[in-house]
């Protein structure tokens, strides 16, 4: 295993992008790699501020990147993803992996015994598996309509199905992968990446406020929720993998009552902060290790272990991601005849029939040559619109964008087109703006 020098693989050979929000998450992800490759063979451009870690799991080439310190949230995550796409243009699968807050449910008809160290995968059969609780519009009747978010691409959904089926036969491999990681890097035990036996997992009533101190030693045991009688699918301290809705927003939640409201409104079992900025521009799945319960008792004592659990779960998921599912682009971007024809039309304004203009040809190289010095958030309003999500998912392939001169007709589509492209590729479809 080597992480010095430059990678022996070209940037274009990396097909999976893995984004973390915190250094503790990046450390766990890096330590889980089967092999580290070193620095990118082609250095990032001046506008790309990301620091990349390159490696592989199960012979899948992966790019790791972390958000800047003290810059959590959706906007920062979107910037990291955007720059990653430019530097590694063949990324087709995205992973947003790290820690999150658990939302347990104890109603008689819906018991979700989420505990510290467990892992939540944002996955539902009926929707995207992620809901932005603070992104939408307030309607006249006082209700709030959330904007739609895209779900994981087909290859990841197939991998999740295979993983769930496997866990009907045997337990998950999270403990195995964590122990394997700690065996190779024993120093990480001292940093809290092993199971924190000395820190009890305590869940208090939503309305009970922390009395102070680094841990909950002084908190009233009578306010604690008794979970001893609840059965677990795994034995002992082994983490359980849960599948369901992850609620995302730009606010760090430390309020048990608000946590319960989000859980009841959306059926969410986890809270996090970054997915809102990625789901509609990045074909990814969200995987969160539970490090707290989003209440006033929140601390960082379980964070490192939760990050390791999430990384280990992701590694097991990648075992079920078939290499044939991460395919090369079905149409070569070097189709020079059609590119030259379209370039000639753009320069001479000669008419070209519509079917030729919208034929399924990759125009990456030509599109990258179009000058575009937009501010980062240019086009985000469009990325977050219901119209864009509907277009990507619908059978209609063409979308006509009209606008007056000098109002950004070229800038906005260029800023936007790179994001839906990845969804179209994952679904083997052709889209044109």
* Matching residue, tokens 């199960």: 58
Average pLDDT (68-83) is 93
Beta-strand pair 268-272/93-102? antiparallel
At 156, list the tokens.
């990841």
Query: What are the residue ranges of helices labelled H in 220-301?
Result: 256-266
At 210, list the tokens.
């922390």
Split at pLDDT 50, 70, 90, the class of 3 is low
Q: Is residue 376 within 8 Å of 403, Cβ to Cβ?
A: no
Question: At 423, is the secondary structure helix, strand, or coil?
Answer: helix
Kindly write down the DSSP assignment for every residue of 199-223, as one continuous string: S----B-TTPPP-SSSSSTTS-GGG
Topology given in CATH for the domain delimited by 11-325: Rossmann fold (3.40.50)
Helix, strand, coil in percent for the chain, rounding step 5: 35, 20, 50
* Matching residue, tokens 């024993």: 186
| Residue 75, C-beta contacts closer than 8 angstroms, at least 6 positions apart | 250, 277, 376, 377
**Ranges of each domain in the chain:** 11-325, 336-426
Distance between start and end Cα atoms, the chain: 44
Split at pLDDT 50, 70, 90, the class of 357 is very low
Average pLDDT (224-242) is 84
Beta-strand pair 241-248/130-132? parallel
pLDDT at 22 exceeding the cut of 90? yes
The torsion angles phi and psi of 238, rounded to 5 degrees, stand at: -65, 135
What is the 8-class DSSP label of residue 324?
Answer: G
Q: Whole-model pTM above 0.75?
A: yes
Q: Is 174 exposed, middle or buried (0-12, 13-18, 19+ CB in 10 A)?
A: buried
Segment 264-323, tens digit of pLDDT: 999 999 999 999 999 988 889 999 999 999 999 999 999 999 999 999 999 999 999 976
| Residue 418, C-beta contacts closer than 8 angstroms, at least 6 positions apart | 82, 85
Question: The dihedral of CA 249, 265, 162, 290: what is its sign?
Answer: positive
Extract the runs of DSSP E, i.e. beta strands, from 8-87. 16-20, 35-38, 53-57, 60-66
Q: Is residue 250 within 8 Å of 74, Cβ to Cβ?
A: yes
pLDDT at 95 exceeding the cut of 50? yes
At 394, list the tokens.
């619908």
| Residue 187, C-beta contacts closer than 8 angstroms, at least 6 positions apart | none
For residues 431 and 423, what is the distance between their CA atoms, to the nearest angstrom?
Answer: 10
Helices 174-184 and 303-318: crossing angle, nearest 10°? 110
Question: At 266, is the secondary structure helix, strand, or coil?
Answer: helix
For residues 123 and 174, what is the distance between their CA atoms, to the nearest angstrom?
Answer: 18
For residues 397 and 135, what is the distance between their CA atoms, to the nearest angstrom?
Answer: 26
Q: What is the pLDDT of residue 365?
A: 42
Extract the runs of DSSP E, i.e. beta strands, from 293-354. none
Segment 124-174, tens digit of pLDDT: 987 889 999 988 777 777 777 777 789 999 999 999 999 999 999 999 999
Segment 375-410, tens digit of pLDDT: 555 565 666 566 666 665 554 556 666 666 556 656
């Amino acid at each position: 295993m080597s992480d010095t020098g430059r990678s022996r693989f070209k940037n274009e050979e990396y097909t999976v992008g893995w984004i973390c929000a915190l250094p503790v998450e990046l450390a766990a992800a890096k330590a889980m790699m089967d092999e580290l490759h070193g620095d990118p063979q082609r250095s990032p451009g001046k506008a790309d501020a990301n620091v990349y870690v390159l490696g592989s799991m199960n012979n899948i080439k992966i790019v790791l990147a972390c958000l800047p310190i003290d810059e959590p949230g959706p906007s920062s995550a979107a910037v990291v993803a955007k720059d990653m796409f430019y530097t590694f243009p063949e990324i087709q699968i995205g992973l947003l992996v790290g820690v999150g807050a658990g939302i347990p449910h104890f109603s008689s008809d819906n018991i979700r015994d989420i505990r510290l160290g467990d892992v939540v995968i944002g996955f539902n059969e009926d929707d995207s598996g992620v809901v932005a609780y603070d992104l939408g519009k307030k309607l006249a009747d006082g209700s709030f309509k959330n904007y739609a978010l895209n779900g994981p691409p087909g290859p990841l959904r197939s991998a999740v199905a295979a993983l769930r089926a496997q866990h009907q036969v045997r337990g998950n491999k999270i403990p195995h992968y964590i122990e394997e990681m700690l065996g190779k890097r024993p120093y990480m035990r001292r940093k809290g990446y092993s199971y924190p036996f000395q820190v009890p997992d305590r869940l208090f009533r939503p309305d009970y406020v922390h009395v102070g101190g680094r841990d909950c030693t002084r908190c009233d045991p009578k306010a604690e929720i008794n979970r001893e009688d609840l059965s677990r699918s795994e034995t002992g301290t082994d983490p359980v993998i849960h599948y369901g809705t992850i609620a995302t927003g730009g606010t760090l939640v430390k309020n048990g009552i608000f946590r319960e409201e989000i859980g009841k409104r959306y059926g969410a079992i986890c809270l996090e902060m970054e997915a809102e900025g990625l789901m509609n521009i990045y074909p990814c799945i969200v995987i969160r290790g539970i490090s707290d319960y989003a209440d006033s008792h929140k601390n960082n004592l379980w964070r490192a272990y939760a990050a390791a659990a999430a990384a280990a779960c992701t590694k097991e998921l990648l075992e079920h991601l078939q290499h044939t599912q991460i395919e090369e682009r079905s149409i070569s971007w070097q189709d020079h005849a059609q590119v030259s024809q379209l370039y000639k039309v753009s320069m001479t304004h000669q008419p070209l029939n519509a079917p030729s203009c919208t034929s399924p040809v990759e125009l990456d190289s030509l599109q990258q040559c179009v000058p575009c010095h937009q501010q980062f958030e240019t086009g985000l309003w469009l990325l977050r619109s219901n119209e864009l999500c509907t277009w990507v998912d619908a059978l209609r392939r063409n979308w006509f964008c009209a606008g007056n001169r000098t109002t950004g007709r070229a800038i906005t589509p260029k800023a936007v087109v790179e994001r839906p492209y990845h969804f179209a590729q994952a679904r083997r479809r052709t889209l044109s703006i």
